Amino acid sequence: MRELERSRREFVGADQGWSEAGVNSATTPQVSIPLARPILGEAEEQAVIEVLRSGVLSLGPRLAAFEQAFAEQVHAPLASAVSSGTAGLHLALRAVGLEQGDEVVTSPFSFVASANAVLYEGARPVFADIDPITLNLDPQAAAAAVTERTRALLPVHIFGYPADMPAFEGLAQRQQLAIVEDACEALGATHADGTPVGGRGHPAVFGFYANKQLTTGEGGMIALADPLLKERIDSERNQGRAPDMGWLDHDRLGFNYRLSDIACALGLVQLERLPGMLSDRAAVASLYRQALAGIEGLELPCSDRGGDVRGWFVFVVQLPRGVDRDGVVHRLAASSIQSKPYLPAIHLMSFYRERFGHREGQFPVCEDVAARSLALPFFPSMTEGEVARVAAVLSDAL
């Protein structure tokens, strides 16, 4: 128990070196206000201990329990737990029939996994520009990008703000396209009609990395409505094993995308905490809005509009044009405040430039936003004093 308690303290404090790129905390400077901090406590510790003592560490009872509880949370009929949001995107795209040579229209302003998952199946991500307010994929730009090769739409609920799903559903119906939603950043978000993001029936993929609204360390979930798609996903996450779990028959190509019972146990406890954590995130966002309101030229995340409700994931501001963003990052770091350019434009990453010939100027809204965006420290337990300190240093830096 003493060793477990020490490990728990280390895990809760591991945010000091947090990075979506996986930077080792041992090689990065320690900061007093980190970019993210998971909320973990004795309930999570006890849940993990119970799984360890049971001896059933994978494909056990917590898996089905977590899937059912999560499906209920987002008002989806079904859910399939997987090892990461990226794995979920891959399996969901396979499940809707993506094949080599197909095209998927998606956003260039996202974490790179949303585009990479398309490439896993030999298909091509076709980017379209984003809305300058919500930063989500622009439905009109997406419609203009559809060709005879387009097989699916992959809207991203960026930074937890709901994408315009009615518009994408209309486009998909007219063009007979599948929809997979990248909801990895959007747990807790709600559409204007009251439907939670993930509850519209399309495969919608959530991620549970340590900075997300809910964490299992690593992990993800696909919320969906079609039992046949769930059967396929459940098989392919487990090496293509037959639906009856027969060991001797693997009737399709599969992958090792399972989520352990240890992670599922964490997820079940985190789901119980979720309402409070979402409320705390929204409260921190409100503090930031008040503290940053007077900084000239600084653009804050858009407010909820038209009935849509954001599920707060990160607090990303856009610096005034012409400001040296790297200089701002260094100024914050000098005051022991972690920040991060967030997110780079996918189409301008070297791999996508070289593979597809992308260049500057193709998606001007995305490129402008990506060049000016900066993620500030943001987590449920952040205090008013910490927010005020970040705001003061940022104001000085600008």
Q: Residue 175: which pLDDT band, with cuts at 50, 70 and 90? A: very high
CA distance linking residue 216 with residue 220, whole number of Å: 8
Looking at residue 6, what is its pLDDT? Answer: 36
Q: Give the residue with greater pLDDT, 352 vs 16.
A: 352
Q: Residue 9: which pLDDT band, with cuts at 50, 70 and 90? A: very low
CA distance linking residue 339 with residue 350, whole number of Å: 23
Looking at residue 251, what is its pLDDT? Answer: 81
- pLDDT per position as a tens digit, 313-325: 999 999 999 999 9
Looking at residue 246, what is its pLDDT? Answer: 65
User: CB–CB of 180/233 below 8 Å?
Assistant: no
pLDDT tops 70 at residue 1: no
Would you give the DSSP letter of residue 156? B
pLDDT tops 50 at residue 2: no
Looking at residue 188, what is its pLDDT? Answer: 98
Q: Which of 31-40, 265-274, 307-316 has the lowest mean pLDDT?
A: 31-40
HSE toward the beta carbon, residue 296, CA cutoff 13 A: 0
Burial of 89 (0-12, 13-18, 19+ CB in 10 A): buried
Of 89, 155, 93, 144, nearest to 123 by C-alpha is 93
Full DSSP string of 111-164: -THHHHHHHTTT-EEEE--B-TTT-SBPHHHHHHH--TTEEEEE-B-GGGPPP-
Structure tokens at 193: 């009609």
Q: Which of 2-6, 128-132, 281-285, 337-341 has the lowest mean pLDDT?
A: 2-6
pLDDT tops 70 at residue 165: yes
Looking at residue 385, what is its pLDDT? Answer: 97
CA distance linking residue 255 with residue 111, whole number of Å: 22
3-class DSSP state for residue 117? helix
Looking at residue 294, what is its pLDDT? Answer: 87
- pLDDT per position as a tens digit, 227-275: 999 999 999 999 998 877 666 778 889 999 999 999 999 999 999 999 9
CA distance linking residue 188 with residue 280, whole number of Å: 12
User: CB–CB of 74/157 below 8 Å?
Assistant: no
Structure tokens at 132: 């300058």
CA distances from 308 to 133, 194, 252, 378 (A): 13, 8, 40, 21
Q: Kindly state the average pLDDT of the residues 45-65.
A: 96
Percent above pLDDT 90 for the chain:
89
Q: Give the residue with greater pLDDT, 287 vs 17.
A: 287
Looking at residue 23, what is its pLDDT? Answer: 36
Structure tokens at 285: 């966002």
CA distance linking residue 356 with residue 262, whole number of Å: 40
Looking at residue 250, what is its pLDDT? Answer: 82
Looking at residue 242, what is its pLDDT? Answer: 80
Q: Kindly state the average pLDDT of the residues 372-394.
A: 98
Q: Which of 29-38, 215-224, 345-354 has the lowest mean pLDDT?
A: 29-38
Q: Which residue has the tokens 């298909």?
A: 123
Looking at residue 249, what is its pLDDT? Answer: 78
Please name every residue paired with 250 in a beta bridge, in sequence order, or none if there are none. Answer: 241
pLDDT, averaged across the chain: 92
pLDDT tops 80 at residue 39: yes
Structure tokens at 179: 């929809």
Looking at residue 18, what is its pLDDT? Answer: 40
Element (H, E) at 222: strand 220-224
3-class DSSP state for residue 309? strand
User: CB–CB of 312/296 below 8 Å?
Assistant: no
CA distance linking residue 288 with residue 190, whole number of Å: 22
Ordered by where they begin, the domains of the chain are: 44-267 (3.40.640.10), 273-397 (3.90.1150.10)
pLDDT tops 50 at residue 8: no
